[in-house]
């Protein structure tokens, strides 16, 4: 369990019942505005995939997946950790064209995640993916997409505030863009998380770009799998969480690898053995479409807009017993 942040004098602005109503309002509103902003269609998505398929996300490569055998099916099933690879294959299978995309509810279990104010074993997010052409694999298109997502977020906040005037979260729609190397140059004595806090506190809404590669100090800003995001064309959307006094990551996203970047990033991570999988062959042989995509945390978005101090106030999950006791003593009600 990570260190808990316990805001002094914290009280939820909404009752438990109104919190539930507000969660539904946020989710119903945001997904419609996101779909309109990015031209996305809703699809269904898997909760489990077969082990060894190469579809499941390896995250940082060390997390244990939740897996089990099956009564009538050979092999082992795994609960997904994200849908980054599945979405790209789905766009090809369903026949989507450039400029068109999909979004879905992604529900995952990450058994090795530490629990704290913003981390849970249960992950719920809107996963989205969109077909693009080669000429759009650039920073300008990435930035335009980020601005569209933030606009959908701001529009959702206005709908929420109209229904619950006590919620007056101000969101800076003017996104500050910075690369992970530029951020290191700005704050050379700080850790990566401290750098995030410093820049987001100053600007409110920030997109930190180019995550996954090694920086000038010999370290990575944060971990990224080598086989979906192009490390030069990706990033994290971050906002300022006032109750916790820290930056909050709402989304990890990016333009996806093409044949050249996939081979390069797999080689850097000593993971060329993954090239045997259908997904990787599809990228290498240019049979899968070029795409941009990401995930937007549903509970994190609700936590942010409802000005909550703990993600357990907006999602039902399993928490350490001592965390429940500490939160209760500090007026934080976990669902």
Residues with catalytic roles:
57, 110, 125, 236, 249, 252
Cβ atoms of residues 295 and 126 within 8 Å: yes
Q: What order of strands is seen across the sheet that includes strand 291-297?
A: 40-42, 101-109, 122-131, 291-297, 246-256, 229-241, 205-209, 176-179
Cβ atoms of residues 132 and 256 within 8 Å: no
CA angle centred on 157, ends 81 and 34, rounded to 5°: 50
CA separation for the pair 3, 322 (Å, rounded) = 12
Question: Which tokens in the block code for residue 89?
Answer: 């294959």
Residue 119: CB atoms within 10 Å: 14
Task: Find the largest Cα–Cα distance for the chain.
Answer: 58
Question: Which tokens in the block code for residue 301?
Answer: 């978005």
CA separation for the pair 39, 36 (Å, rounded) = 5
Question: Which tokens in the block code for residue 12?
Answer: 């939820």
Using DSSP's 3-state secondary structure scheme, residue 182 falls into: helix
Cβ atoms of residues 87 and 126 within 8 Å: no
* DSSP 8-state secondary structure symbol assigned to residue 2: P
Question: Which tokens in the block code for residue 21?
Answer: 């109503």
Cβ atoms of residues 77 and 51 within 8 Å: yes
């Amino acid at each position: 369990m990570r260190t808990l942040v316990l805001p002094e004098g914290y009280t939820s602005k909404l009752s438990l019942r109104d919190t539930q109503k507000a969660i539904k309002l946020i989710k119903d509103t945001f997904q419609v505005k996101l779909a309109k902003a990015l031209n996305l269609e809703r699809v269904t998505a898997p909760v489990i995939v077969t082990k060894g398929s190469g579809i499941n996300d390896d995250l940082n490569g060390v997390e244990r997946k939740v897996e089990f055998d099956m009564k009538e099916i050979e092999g082992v099933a795994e609960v997904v950790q994200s849908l980054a690879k599945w979405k790209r294959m789905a766009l090809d299978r369903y026949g989507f064209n450039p400029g068109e995309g999909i979004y879905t509810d992604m529900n995952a279990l990450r058994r090795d995640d530490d629990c704290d104010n913003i981390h849970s074993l249960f992950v719920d997010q809107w996963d989205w993916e969109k077909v693009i052409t080669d000429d759009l694999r650039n920073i300008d298109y990435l930035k335009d997409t980020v601005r569209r997502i933030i606009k959908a977020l701001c529009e959702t906040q206005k709908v929420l505030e109209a229904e619950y005037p006590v919620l007056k979260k101000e969101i800076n729609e003017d996104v500050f863009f910075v690369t992970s190397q530029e951020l290191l140059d700005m704050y050379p004595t700080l850790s990566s998380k401290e750098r995030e806090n410093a820049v987001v506190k100053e600007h409110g809404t920030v997109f930190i770009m180019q995550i996954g590669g090694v920086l000038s100090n010999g370290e990575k800003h944060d971990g990224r799998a080598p086989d979906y995001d192009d490390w030069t064309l990706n990033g994290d959307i971050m906002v300022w969480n006032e109750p916790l006094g820290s930056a909050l990551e709402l989304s990890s996203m990016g333009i996806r690898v093409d044949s050249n970047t996939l081979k390069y990033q797999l080689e850097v991570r000593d993971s060329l053995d993954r090239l045997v999988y259908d997904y990787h062959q599809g990228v290498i042989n240019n049979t899968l479409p070029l795409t941009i995509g990401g995930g937007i945390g549903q509970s994190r978005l609700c936590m942010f807009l409802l000005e909550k101090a703990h993600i357990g106030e907006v999602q039902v999950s399993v928490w350490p017993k001592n965390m429940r006791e500490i939160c209760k003593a500090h007026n934080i009600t976990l669902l």
